[in-house]
Structure 1
Amino acid sequence: MASRTSSEGDTITTLPSHTDFQDRAESLSNFFYDKNAGTILYRSPKRWLKTICCHFTLYSFLVLFSVAMMAIVYQTLDWNYPKLRGPDSIFRGNPGLSFRPIPDYTSTLIRYVKGDGPTTRRYIDHIESFIRFYENENQIGDNFADCEAIGVRRDQRKKVCRFDISTLGKNCVKQQNYGYDDGMPCVLLKLNKIFNWEPEPLDNATIPDEIRSRYKEYAVSVSCDGELPADRENMGPVSYYPPEGFHFKYFPYLNQQGYRSPLVMVQFEDPTPGVLLMIECKAYAKNIKHNRLYKIGSTHFELLVD
């Protein structure tokens, strides 16, 4: 639209003329294709060809360069053996401990009301979902070996040992809801997998008092205790299944098909109700060091039974 001012000072709006519409339509048409200048989108076909060739060359080079770099990287990798091992690995060649249940990975607190299904269910389900991976039907095949009779280290490394979940105790089972309904919660512990790591037995003179009664030469022992005197006072008695801990026959981990990490169940038999307990569990072997800051050789969680 156009406007003008009359001699009396009034503003008069007028509709655009037919010529204005025609000029605009012609300008838009010339933008897409100008037959007089021979351009498309203001570029001649020759210029478009140069632009396309330039971009094609650039992106072809980038793709070929990326493929070449990936090929070089893949040539240096072995999918069966990690590149960084021992002190160079993220765990510095020293295994840590992890625990279940931990349905919320942003929290290490295990809190529930004794006998209250809605508060215990998520902990029970989380343990059950992990244990299901160890059930007999999931440990069948030529790559599994029956290692029940083995009491020392195992020489055969191509096959993996079946882990018998019956060693986790009669109280820490699904039928007993892993002790949560009775206020005797079970916590599942496992060592982090480190490629080609083998535990070394402790010397008799260096066996800590907290594991001496349960220590066996060919097992990584585990002990859980309160971090503060008040925690130890209110924690109550603790049982371990199996008592000796993680047997040496399950090591080393070599990325074998079907490998199952050994497990230990820790049952808190009589924690004081309504008291928050700070618990630290440690694994013991000659070549396991403990560092709370880096979470090496140990794990931490809180327990509160209301």
Structure 2
Amino acid sequence: TYQDRVAPPGLSHTPRSLKSEIAFKLGSPESYQDYVDAVNTFLKAYDDDKQTDQKKFEDCADVPAEYMNRGELESKDGVRKACRFKRSLLGDCSGLTDTTYGFSEGKPCLIVKLNRIVSFKPRPPVSATTLPAAVQAKLQPYVIPIHCTHRREEDLGKIGPIEYFGLGGGFPLQYYPYYGKLLHPHYL
């Protein structure tokens, strides 16, 4: 659809805040319940039982790999299968063991997603020299790295250690490209 084709490349995350920052009180579940509900809603599509149909989903590797070739966008191949994504790959942020996604411990999880862009094939950095040292250390050939940090200097002491979960701790190439809602309706 038209909307698939015009979204700018970029990141989005869940949960989102009505304000510019996510804020809650440790020990006060009602202060973070909306965030937990938002992550639950977002991750529901990634439940194993929602990805069992062999005609709609396929396993795409347990380690980061190259792009999945599902044919040309304009070919007559019809609807494409989507890669399964196991919530367990999100570790402590999967909601499978900690149903508060770290909020109850003061270590909240953010689920980061790269916007869907039809035919977009993100490219990993070729040279690590322009990347922060923390990213250079974990650079992998088939993963678009992600690096989170404070926005303002006064926030430096407010953010604890950041852990990255998922396959390769970034965006593995085998989940790309996206073929649009008509050809890739089950893409997560």
Q: Is the 8 A contact 1:215 1:244 kept in 2?
A: no
- 2-structure distance, mates of 1:172, 1:162: 15
1:225 to 137, 149, 153: 149
Question: Which residue of structure 2 lines up, in the alignment, with residue 120 of structure 1?
Answer: 32
- 2-structure distance, mates of 1:205, 1:215: 8
1:170 to 64, 78, 92: 92
From the superposition, tell whether residues 172 and 165 of structure 1 become closer, same or farther in structure 2 (CA, over 3 Å).
Answer: closer
Is 1:215 equivalent to 2:139 in the alignment? yes
From the superposition, tell whether residues 155 and 113 of structure 1 become closer, same or farther in structure 2 (CA, over 3 Å).
Answer: closer
Q: 4+ runs of 1 displaced by more than 6 Å?
A: none
Shift in Å, 1:204: 2.9
Deviations 1:210-249 (A, max 9, x none): 3112211111111111112221233121111025301000
Question: Which residue of structure 1 lines up, in the alignment, with residue 171 of structure 2?
Answer: 246
- 2-structure distance, mates of 1:116, 1:124: 13
The aligned length equals 172
- Using structure 1 for the length normalisation, give the TM-score: 0.52
From the superposition, tell whether residues 194 and 236 of structure 1 become closer, same or farther in structure 2 (CA, over 3 Å).
Answer: same
Is 1:156 equivalent to 2:69 in the alignment? yes
* Runs (5+) with no aligned partner, structure 1: 1-78, 261-306
Question: Which residue of structure 2 lines up, in the alignment, with residue 143 of structure 1?
Answer: 56
Q: Is the 8 A contact 1:161 1:259 kept in 2?
A: yes
Is 1:100 equivalent to 2:22 in the alignment? no
1:200 to 82, 105, 123: 123
- 1-structure distance, mates of 2:56, 2:15: 29
- 2-structure distance, mates of 1:135, 1:172: 10
Question: Which residue of structure 1 lines up, in the alignment, with residue 102 of structure 2?
Answer: 179
Once the two structures are aligned, what percentage of the paired residues are identical? 28
Question: Which residue of structure 1 lines up, in the alignment, with residue 73 of structure 2?
Answer: none
Is 1:259 equivalent to 2:173 in the alignment? no
Q: Is the 8 A contact 1:153 1:249 kept in 2?
A: yes
Q: Is the 8 A contact 2:116 2:178 kept in 1?
A: yes
SS at match of 1:224: coil
RMSD: 2.2
Shift in Å, 1:139: 1.2
- 2-structure distance, mates of 1:197, 1:120: 35
From the superposition, tell whether residues 154 and 171 of structure 1 become closer, same or farther in structure 2 (CA, over 3 Å).
Answer: closer
Shift in Å, 1:147: 1.2
Looking at CA atoms only, which structure, 1 or 2, has the larger radius of gyration? 1
Shift in Å, 1:107: 2.9
* Runs (5+) with no aligned partner, structure 2: 71-79
From the superposition, tell whether residues 235 and 168 of structure 1 become closer, same or farther in structure 2 (CA, over 3 Å).
Answer: same
Question: Which residue of structure 1 lines up, in the alignment, with residue 76 of structure 2?
Answer: none
**Which has the bigger relative contact order, CA under 8 A and spacing at least 6?**
2
From the superposition, tell whether residues 129 and 155 of structure 1 become closer, same or farther in structure 2 (CA, over 3 Å).
Answer: closer
Question: Which residue of structure 1 lines up, in the alignment, with residue 22 of structure 2?
Answer: 110
Higher strand share: 1
- 2-structure distance, mates of 1:84, 1:100: 20
Deviations 1:11-42 (A, max 9, x none): xxxxxxxxxxxxxxxxxxxxxxxxxxxxxxxx
- 1-structure distance, mates of 2:56, 2:4: 26
Q: Is the 8 A contact 2:68 2:175 kept in 1?
A: no
